[in-house]
Chains A and B, each alone.
Chain A
């Protein structure tokens, strides 16, 4: 399982590839969480992920919670129909913002950050 990180318009884009399972869940959690203090917007690209397991669902939720604690927003992109159905059926989808593409996800998070700045100001 590989974790590729990049930054676009201050949004940290984390692309996951390979088998996502209980063994790789800890790695994912650590790698993604490591970008959070520096970036308040994190986009998880799952377009190259075929399957999810219960362990990975929990990792995603843990990242969401960590993001809340660090004031970072986490969004998902690249959900296949099957992934989306699994997340929806189990209720985990409700925790995340979901975009249809990486550019859409970046725009979504950027707009939310701007809205938040206006509120805080």
Chain B
């Protein structure tokens, strides 16, 4: 009796033609890319500019092709060339396309039949299999497409679907997180290496990692030697995608064996098993092909005019600042982007995506901003992406700044650059910011009134700019090591060095810097919205004042694991603040606070205070803000009271605290002016304040929690 799991032979699993010595038949148009089928491999590629397309096959690792199979024109459907080639062992081949231009090529067409083109839908890329290993530059086909196994043992894994407002996001570079020898992982700088550090992430309390680009890119792009030190500088951050469907092989311990897909999925499974979501930083605003002087890798050689925004005479618009601009709102390109994200969401169980320079995706094919951009609408309403977090870096290098106005379709969130700016300025002691500070702490209702607080990704630091430790240690950037005469990186950092530029032995300055870092964590983790922490900020990671370390694959940008012990105090404080946020849902409500009593506590959900209770100081000289939250507790029962105060003045104040109902008392949960371990107090160790006042220290923040049993008589 036939095994019930055994498929019958298909009637299309036999060749109908012989081309270049291979049995072939007309291929399946969908899906695009190379797909394993019964007896062979199906190849499908779009090219509206082609007069003819050939599949070029290589034995894995061979420099020269082993076969070139022209796709008969009769196999073409519309502008899609598809062929099934039989007798291929898909694990042992590499492939590409040779595209012959149509006779009526326009100024925007750049097909070049002397080149082999990589498949934009390739699931695996060979060519940079081990990070930093110098390739054979004489090989004309550098980034070789390979088919991938699409069978996965998920063991019941599913995207976690954590409520966005409950996330604490941790932004990290995949390689940099474990590359330092101090990580003591078996496979430093890899997907497998990150798995070994999941216990650390759990201990810290974050529940979402956001990875800098992991789609295949060329670390040797624009690589050079530092003229001062001679060290190799790389395209380390990876914001220059070669292949959008392929995980970077050089980030895999098994990349040399082509197993990066399995290894990456293993990382996803283990993160999910630990209750941690995974978001990917995706770069659809441009590609690694650069402008007309850049390499032809895939898109340019297939259909330049479709995939890129071009001027009338065929040159590249450059709204990304990198040479080209991906033509996201062209129907074909839009389909590519949607397909790509569907692939990662469904085949890799990715929980969300952060879009680099996302405002480019709001431009039409000529670069003009769109009121109703089809791509953003499609992504927001896509059925496969429905549960994915979509986060926009809502600006671009062409002058668009859309924080608060990015077309959201009730799905998109944004990196809230306004939050970052006001927190930084407040911390450094600028005056006149109390009003805006309150707005940002409340979840930026001025920007996201229709979307709720989940639209606001609150951050103070990220990969762009200073680390938190450097934000409080440097007034100015120090990017000399980048080899660009310190001309790169932002000059507007909102930083303050606490009295001395850079490293110092002055104990008071060191103390103040630590206190300022804790202040940042308090504000970030008690604000409504979704907090994002830059990896290493919880232990005071420094880049020596470099605010644009994009090219450093070195200790300058790696996570320094010795800091976990060296700055254990800061780690413990951050850990405690994350735990406090988790324990008090009133801090992470998905809605903006409203002026009514939600829980019958006698107070509005949020109230603002100055040094005197109920009298906030909105004056131009104000540097103090108190906020009292009153909402439901973790078990859904209220009221839960929190009081958060921030004093950026160089003097302390005596505070009159808002009075709690009889039977309740304020308890100190965190006070950054106190030395460790009193700076953060776990829930079971808090002591009620004897009176309704408190002395807040200079340049410090304070969190009080109301506890006790209200008297009902």
Contacts and interface: CB of A to CB of B under 8 A. Distances in A.
Nearest to A90: B262
Interface in A10-64: 21-23, 51-55, 57-58, 61
B193 to A, nearest CB: 9
A88 B192 contact: yes
Q: Would you list the 7 A-B pairs with minimal beta carbon distance, nearest first?
A: A91-B266, A89-B192, A90-B262, A89-B253, A22-B91, A22-B89, A89-B263
B92 interface: yes
Interface string B430-463: 0000000000000000000000000000000000
A85 interface: yes
Contacts of A52: 257
B257 A51 contact: yes
B149 A58 contact: yes
B269 interface: yes
B269 A91 contact: yes
Contacts of B262: 54, 57, 90-92
A89 B89 contact: no
A84 B281 CA distance: 31
Given A52-B257, A91-B269, 19 more contacts: A22-B89, A22-B91, A51-B257, A53-B257, A53-B258, A54-B91, A54-B258, A57-B259, A88-B186, A89-B191, A89-B192, A89-B254, A89-B259, A90-B259, A90-B262, A91-B153, A91-B262, A91-B263, A91-B266
A87 B215 CA distance: 23
Contacts of A55: 91, 149
A102 interface: no
A25 to B, nearest CB: 9
30 contacts: A21-B91, A21-B92, A22-B89, A22-B91, A22-B92, A23-B89, A53-B257, A53-B258, A54-B149, A54-B259, A54-B262, A57-B259, A58-B151, A85-B253, A85-B254, A86-B253, A88-B192, A89-B187, A89-B190, A89-B191, A89-B253, A89-B254, A89-B263, A89-B266, A90-B263, A90-B266, A91-B262, A91-B265, A91-B270, A92-B262
Interface of B: 89, 91-92, 149, 151, 153, 186-187, 190-192, 252-254, 257-259, 262-263, 265-266, 269-270
B153 A86 contact: no
Contacts of A21: 91-92
Contacts of B270: 91
A84 B253 CA distance: 12
B259 to A, nearest CB: 5
Contacts of A61: 153
Contact of B254 (A58, A90, A95): A90
Contacts of B269: 91
Nearest to B268: A91
A58 B263 CA distance: 13
A118 B291 CA distance: 71
Which size bracket describes the interface of A in this complex? Answer: 10 to 19
Nearest to B253: A89
Contacts of B186: 85, 88
Contacts of A23: 89
B147 to A, nearest CB: 10
B152 to A, nearest CB: 10
Nearest to B267: A91
A21 B265 CA distance: 22
A116 to B, nearest CB: 22
B265 A89 contact: no
A63 to B, nearest CB: 13
A121 B186 CA distance: 43
B357 to A, nearest CB: 33
A34 B699 CA distance: 74
A67 to B, nearest CB: 14
B249 to A, nearest CB: 13
| Residue among A54, A57, A85, A89 with max Cβ neighbours from chain B (10 Å) | A89
A51 B192 CA distance: 19
Nearest to B265: A91
Contacts of A90: 254, 259, 262-263, 266
Nearest to B60: A53
Contacts of A22: 89, 91-92
Nearest to A93: B266
Nearest to B255: A89
A88 B254 CA distance: 10
B187 A85 contact: yes
Contacts of A95: 153
Nearest to A65: B153
A22 B153 CA distance: 19
A85 B254 CA distance: 8
A92 B265 CA distance: 11
B92 A86 contact: no
Contacts of A89: 187, 190-192, 252-254, 259, 263, 266
Nearest to B266: A91
A118 to B, nearest CB: 28
A85 B195 CA distance: 13
B562 to A, nearest CB: 25
Contacts of A54: 91, 149, 257-259, 262
A88 B186 CA distance: 10
A36 B257 CA distance: 30
Contacts of A57: 259, 262
A55 B254 CA distance: 14
Contacts of A86: 253-254, 257, 259
B1 to A, nearest CB: 16
B248 to A, nearest CB: 15
A86 B257 CA distance: 9
Interface string A68-105: 00000000000000000110111110010000000000
A85 B252 CA distance: 12
A53 B187 contact: no
B181 to A, nearest CB: 17
Contacts of B149: 54-55, 58
| Residue among B149, B191, B254, B258 with max Cβ neighbours from chain A (10 Å) | B254
Nearest to A64: B153
B178 to A, nearest CB: 13
Contacts of B253: 85-86, 89
A22 B91 CA distance: 7
Contacts of B263: 89-91
A88 B92 CA distance: 23
A88 B259 CA distance: 12
Contacts of B89: 22-23
A85 B191 CA distance: 13
A21 B258 CA distance: 13
Contacts of A92: 262
A54 B187 CA distance: 19
Contacts of B266: 89-91
A85 B196 CA distance: 13
A55 B262 CA distance: 11
Contacts of A58: 149, 151
A21 B59 CA distance: 14
A22 B89 CA distance: 7
Contacts of B92: 21-22
A91 B260 CA distance: 11
A64 to B, nearest CB: 9
Nearest to A53: B91
A90 B259 CA distance: 7
| Residue among A51, A53, A95 with max Cβ neighbours from chain B (10 Å) | A53
| Residue among A61, A88, A95 with max Cβ neighbours from chain B (10 Å) | A88
